[in-house]
Structure 1
Amino acid sequence: MSWQAYVDSSLVGSGHLDKAAIISAAGDSTWSASAGFTLKPEEMKHIADILNNASGAVDKAYAEGIHVGGVRYVLARVEGRSLYARQGRSGLCVAKTKQAILIGHHGEAQQAGNATQTVEALADYLISAGY
């Protein structure tokens, strides 16, 4: 399956996310994304730094938030391979695999728990497949 198919079918196609992207684990390239869901290079790098536990990245994110597509989100928590952030009633679930970072966005009408389960399940699958 192509990376775009994972975004379209497994993530957004679930109905639990309205936008999604898959980027490299290093945060230096976008592998696939929903139409109009564009991450800037510095946004990708910051997310990768948080998930890789780079010095000061988590503290900076808690203090300043994280940005995705030019929108600021308040970092709610970081747990191992994952981070969760909110902006009002919408939010992000981000999960890291060996080679990729999955970024899922849920809108106000979608449940954060369902969005999290969708992103985490795909991350589990990709890890089991060696990615």
Structure 2
Amino acid sequence: MIIAGFGFRAEATARSLKDAYDKLGGGADAIAVPDDKAGALCFKQLAAELDLPVHRISADAMQSVKTQTQAQKVIEKRGTGSVAEACALVATGAEGRLIAARHISEDRMATCALAMTSSEGQNT
């Protein structure tokens, strides 16, 4: 399963989120967002457009994973290097792995990263 994790500023639009997602090529099976941002209009619009399951990620869970990207401003505000990467990784579980580091929307208001469950793509 592939999870698209999102981080975004208060000024972001659904277009901002979709642009960041499209830069990664789409193809997610679910989307993940910080719990406190799940009710944002832009995210609700994106979730409706994509029609994918939503994983709401707690602040504690985001802080429990190491991200590939380390943005100092995000570390100070959220306790993680990348909200998008942290959300994607938490949603895939302990064995998940990042397959695309955060990409930033053209307007710089949103980020998206992809993570995959460990069993994806492996022969059983």
TMscore range, shorter length: 0.3 to 0.5
- TM-score, normalisation: structure 2: 0.36
**Is the strand fraction higher in 1 or 2?**
1
- TM-score, normalisation: structure 1: 0.34
